[in-house]
Amino acid sequence: MMLKNTVIAAFLLLSGSSFAQTALKAPVFPVFKSPEAVNVACDEGMNAAKARLRGLEKHKADAGWINAFDRFSAANEDDANDIDFLQYVATSKELRDAAQACSLRWSEFFSSLLQNGKLYKALKAVPTRDAVDREFKRVTMADFEAGGVSLPPAKQARAKQILDQLTALDQAFNKNIRDAGIKVLFTEAELKGVPEAVWKSAPREADGRVVLGVANPVVSSVLRTAESPEARERMWWAKTNEGGQANIELLAQIAQLRHELAGLFGYDNYVDFKLRNRMAHDAKTVWKFLDEVKDTVNASDRADMDVLRQAKSKALGTDRAKTEFKPWDASFYAEIVRRERYQVDQEAFRQYFPSEQALAFVMRVIEKTMGVRYTLIDQAAWAPGVKAYKVSDAASGQAIAQLYVDLYPREGKYGHAAVWGLRNGSTELKRMPMAALVVNLNDKGLTLDEMTTLLHEFGHSVHNNLSLTRHSVQAGTSVVRDFVEAPSQMLEEWVYDAKVLRLMAEVCPNCKLVPDELLAKAVAARDFGKGVDYNRQRLYGAYDLALNGKDTPAPLALWARMEGETPIGYVPGSMFPSRFAHLASDGYGAGYYGYLWSKVIALDMRTAFGDDKLSPVIGMKYRKEVLAQGSQHPAGELVNKFLGRPWNSGAFFADLKR
């Protein structure tokens, strides 16, 4: 779901006659054997960055300056990103802690960089060749300005303080979730209904009870399939309150600091400040959009809830009006309705999508559509089992990118699904992009929903890998946050297409293909529950906006009120925002609405493929006009050029009403 851009808008080395060029590193993930090795690499990297910065500060604001800046940025990526990434995936807590400490040092470096008056002055004076350079200048200047460089000295100092604090609070928020190490105990009887693949090989207590963690696939399996309401409830509470009261307090601090930061720039709320350069532009536009979504889905949310309540009262033989419906009932009864009404059982898909072959299938979809090849290469990474791939252009045979894939859960690993763009590519720097895909698949195969997630995340890695921008700071996923999900969300649609699924035969001749009949049912079932799902996403986006609004309300009271206004209601004592990491993140804070906004673009772009989602002609056009362009032109322009018309929300609202 999430996309991680490790380093803010990573920054600069110098080229030109008077300085030797620093060689950029090959796209290979370094192996760190000990926390000491991380510390040493951290010191070396930081020292090198400081030396590079001194060089760049002396560089004249001439025609070579942009390239020098971009080289500086790329070199910093090389030194900072791998270590930053380790805090999420390293195999020992000591390594993760060392990486996190290093990452904080880099954050400070980058935030002080954005306040560097010498660079800002050079940037303002630098000549531009064309639209790409002008866009570089516009966006980079805005990044600097957001760091406070154009503020008076006292305000500038305060802005830096706040930005550093916000970074530390975001890290603390994530650490509270990661290190909570929440375990939930179940007797085998309580797990009745839950597929054995989820719990059979899990650790046991001395008394035989099964010990389950709260990684997303485990939680969703238990909530969907456990017949025992007590078991579902226990899992729901464990996950919902994962970050605890400590994280609620962090959110309050974060909202206060953001509000103060916006004030330094003359804004009376953080949302308008944050959105000023995004597609949506301001809070008013987003509220209008979210309200339209609410008006469109409210009735279907209630209707869906009625169906679920009815299913529960039928199953329990209770009076419908008196049947209490709880959040931990929702997935379970939705699954029952899907099975009864549409005869779709998510678990039934695992046999058709063995985990390794599912990955190969996803790669095949991209190969077929976008004209590339994935080749497994032998390369050690951060944990045993992580695979490395060379990505090459099918037509020329040239290697164009590197991709790492970390498929299965392990202790201390990032528990969701995300892609890290470790290196941003650049044609001018002859720099190859490199990404890491991190998911937590069940090794017994994937459900259709999990396949959708895999394809979604893979879409982010493709955006990184197929980038072909002149400057690395404009590469692939460096696009505005309310567009960045669109390429991935578009690919989600591919999973529900029989023709696409038949590609499985090319990567796994022995796999049984998903029967057309099962898929047709899944397509019908997909529309059920849409009201609930979209209203939920709408709620998340609205909460994130309200939390960062003019009056910085208390986080939990605000959540209780807003969730309380939805049909499912609020359960006293629950703290969903405590586990909602997007809220604390610099990139997604005040930007969660971007998932729905991107979806508008995704569904509009999808229309270009018509009935043939594997069309290599449209696929190549899309690769060239959208993916390869990164952020070297505004997102709306790229989409309009690809579509050959201005984008609109027609396909999105039609889908909501379906």
Cα gap 477→627, rounded to integer Å: 9
- For Zn ion, give the closer residue by CB, 41 or 437: 437
CB of 163 to Zn ion, least distance (A): 25
- For Zn ion, give the closer residue by CB, 335 or 485: 485
Residue 421 parent element (H or E): strand 418-423
What Å distances lie between residue 286 and 207, 279, 351, CA to CA? 53, 10, 42
- For Zn ion, give the closer residue by CB, 311 or 603: 603
- For Zn ion, give the closer residue by CB, 328 or 595: 595
- For Zn ion, give the closer residue by CB, 257 or 454: 454
CB of 597 to Zn ion, least distance (A): 13
- For Zn ion, give the closer residue by CB, 190 or 485: 485
Helix (H, G, I), strand (E, B) or coil at 391: strand
The residue with tokens 């000591």 is 94
CB of 86 to Zn ion, least distance (A): 21
- For Zn ion, give the closer residue by CB, 232 or 599: 599
Tokens describing residue 537 = 């996403």
361-378 core/surface letters (b: 16 or more CB in 10 A; e: else): bbbbbbbbbbbbbbeeee
What Å distances lie between residue 627 and 65, 484, 621, CA to CA? 26, 10, 9
- For Zn ion, give the closer residue by CB, 452 or 474: 452
Tokens describing residue 502 = 């038949």
- For Zn ion, give the closer residue by CB, 304 or 485: 485
Residue 74 amino acid letter: A
Cα gap 347→655, rounded to integer Å: 26
CB of 598 to Zn ion, least distance (A): 8
- For Zn ion, give the closer residue by CB, 78 or 485: 485
What Å distances lie between residue 332 and 216, 229, 238, 539, 596, CA to CA? 15, 9, 17, 21, 25
- For Zn ion, give the closer residue by CB, 416 or 431: 416
* Contact between 614 and 502 (Cβ < 8 Å): no
Cα gap 634→3, rounded to integer Å: 19
Using CB positions, name the residue nearest to Zn ion.
488
CB of 581 to Zn ion, least distance (A): 13
CB of 459 to Zn ion, least distance (A): 7
Cα gap 373→366, rounded to integer Å: 8
- For Zn ion, give the closer residue by CB, 358 or 507: 358
CB of 1 to Zn ion, least distance (A): 5
- For Zn ion, give the closer residue by CB, 232 or 416: 416
* Other CB atoms within 10 A of residue 658 CB: 9
- For Zn ion, give the closer residue by CB, 368 or 599: 599
Pairing of strands 372-377, 210-212: unpaired
- For Zn ion, give the closer residue by CB, 87 or 488: 488
- For Zn ion, give the closer residue by CB, 488 or 566: 488
Binding region for Zn ion (CB under 5 A): 485, 488
CB of 484 to Zn ion, least distance (A): 7
CB of 348 to Zn ion, least distance (A): 26
CB of 3 to Zn ion, least distance (A): 5
CB of 460 to Zn ion, least distance (A): 6
* Contact between 494 and 448 (Cβ < 8 Å): no
Cα gap 511→505, rounded to integer Å: 7
Residue 499 amino acid letter: K
* Contact between 480 and 489 (Cβ < 8 Å): no
**Alpha-carbon Rg for the chain in angstroms:** 24
Residue 96 parent element (H or E): helix 93-113
CB of 418 to Zn ion, least distance (A): 8
CB of 423 to Zn ion, least distance (A): 19
Cα gap 449→451, rounded to integer Å: 5
- The torsion of the CA quartet 116, 117, 122, 125, rounded to 10 degrees, works out to 140
* Contact between 144 and 123 (Cβ < 8 Å): yes
Residue 44 parent element (H or E): helix 35-58
Cα gap 279→593, rounded to integer Å: 12
Q: Which residues pair with 212 in a beta bridge?
A: 184
Phi, psi of 90, rounded to the nearest 5 degrees: -65, 155
49-70 core/surface letters (b: 16 or more CB in 10 A; e: else): beebbebbeebebeebbbbbbb
First-to-last C-alpha distance (Å) of the chain: 24
Cα gap 540→582, rounded to integer Å: 10
Cα gap 319→323, rounded to integer Å: 6
* Contact between 96 and 90 (Cβ < 8 Å): yes
CB of 593 to Zn ion, least distance (A): 14
CB of 297 to Zn ion, least distance (A): 21
CB of 415 to Zn ion, least distance (A): 15
